[in-house]
Amino acid sequence: MTTVSMGIPQVRRGVSLDGRPDTPELVDRFGRVARDLRVSITEKCSLRCTYCMPEEGLPPIPIENLLTAAEIVRLVTIAVHDLGVREVRFTGGEPLMRADLEELIAGCAAAVPGIPLAMTTNAIGLEHRARRLARAGLTRVNVSLDSVDRRHFAQLTRRDRLPSVLAGIRAAADAGLAPLKINAVLMPETLPGAPDLLQWCLEAGVALRFIEEMPLDADHNWAREHMVSAERLLAVLGERFSLREIGREDPSAPAEEWSVDGGPQTVGIIASVTRSFCADCDRTRLTAEGTVRSCLFSDHEVDLRGPLRSGADDAALARLWRGAMWNKWAGHGIGAEGFEPPERSMGAIGG
């Protein structure tokens, strides 16, 4: 029951490597190389954002199906040493829901020294853990904050927790987790508050990126005609700020930057839908249950947990991972004829 409702439709034990060049890196058929690993470590969350989770939360992953801290450290080590991964990000669900997060991060920091270890989080509870996490080896955090209006925040997340998020952001900054970025998903109801959120971020000295909502909500309410596009956002922000397009620092970065009021501060927009960046994608993903997911939108996953627990060596696990990425799709295909959202919602993939 749980497997079905988490939406895991096609978990494979292996895939074809036909035609793949003999290189250790995570190459695909479209000339891309994945160097950015995103590891989902839980399906649990302290919020219920309407664009992500169902009201009741995701069905719990049976504990025996969840990767342990030691297993995550092993797979991260293979990704870095054997597959050319250069940055690791922990996500979920909410990574702070895992009590062993510090242990997991310390293990990775020791195993892959020098590799940036980042986390995407809603920051609830970060107030009490930011220093310990930084000491364990976490380098930076991106915090989701859609509105600085307490009522709007509570409506969107179905929880009245704005003060805790703001305390978490302050604690992360004090602990030196930098650069700290704020992620805000654009929704019609919060669009009018977007200039206030930008003002707040400019004053707090943190970088803000607005995100176009993707069809990855568990409730399947996403509709192209309701989605707030980058273009609509720019028109609203333009009423208060003077914006100038700068572009991307790194071609694989999801966010395009605009300077605000002549700079130096900027605002970013992650326009996954209207200005897709799939052609430059450099991502590979591990789900909390230990499958490799090559693309946010691809339901084809390759199981590593089973082989790992059956004694597979690093070379065999690396081969499976390479196969998963060799078969990666060109892109998400939102808007293409016949497009269907994936089985898993964002919280079950790890955004």
Ligand X SMILES: Nc1nc2c(ncn2[C@@H]2O[C@H](COP(=O)(O)OP(=O)(O)OP(=O)(O)O)[C@@H](O)[C@H]2O)c(=O)[nH]1
Ligand Y SMILES: C[S@@+](CC[C@H](N)C(=O)[O-])C[C@H]1O[C@@H](n2cnc3c(N)ncnc32)[C@H](O)[C@@H]1O
Binding site membership for GTP: which residues? 38, 89, 120, 181, 283-285
Does position 43 interact with ligand Y (CB under 6 A)? The reply is: no
Asked if residue 62 lies in contact with residue 4, where contact means CB atoms within 8 angstroms, the answer is no
Q: Least distance from C-beta 192 to ligand SF4, angstroms? A: 21
Does position 292 interact with ligand SF4 (CB under 6 A)? The reply is: no
Does position 283 interact with ligand X (CB under 6 A)? The reply is: yes
Q: Reply yes or no: is the peptide bond before residue 264 cis, omega within 30 of 0.
A: yes
Residue partners of 35: CB distance under 8 A and separation at least 6: 25, 26, 84, 85, 86, 87, 282
For the packed helices 150-157 and 162-174, what is the interaxial angle rounded to 10 degrees? 100
Smaller CB distance to ligand Y: residue 121 or 287?
Answer: 121
Question: How far is Cα 15 from Cα 17, in angstroms, rounded to an integer?
Answer: 7
What string of DSSP letters covers 314-326?
Answer: HHHHHHHHHHHHH
Number of residues forming the site for ligand X (CB under 6 A): 17
Burial 26-57 (b: 16+ CB within 10 A, else e): bbbeeebbbbbbbbbbbbbbbbbbbbbbbeeb
Does position 52 interact with ligand Y (CB under 6 A)? The reply is: yes
Q: Comparing C-alpha atoms, which of 311, 284, 308, 312 is closest to residue 298? A: 284
Does position 254 interact with ligand X (CB under 6 A)? The reply is: yes
Smaller CB distance to ligand X: residue 93 or 307?
Answer: 93
Smaller CB distance to ligand Y: residue 76 or 214?
Answer: 214
Smaller CB distance to ligand Y: residue 323 or 342?
Answer: 342
Does position 183 interact with ligand X (CB under 6 A)? The reply is: yes
Does position 272 interact with ligand X (CB under 6 A)? The reply is: yes
Closest CB to ligand Y: residue number: 351
Smaller CB distance to ligand SF4: residue 57 or 195?
Answer: 57
Q: Out of 95, 215, 323, 351, point to the residue binding ligand X (CB under 6 A).
A: 351
Q: Which does 216 bind (CB under 5 to 8 A by kind): ligand Y, ligand SF4, ligand X, none?
A: ligand Y
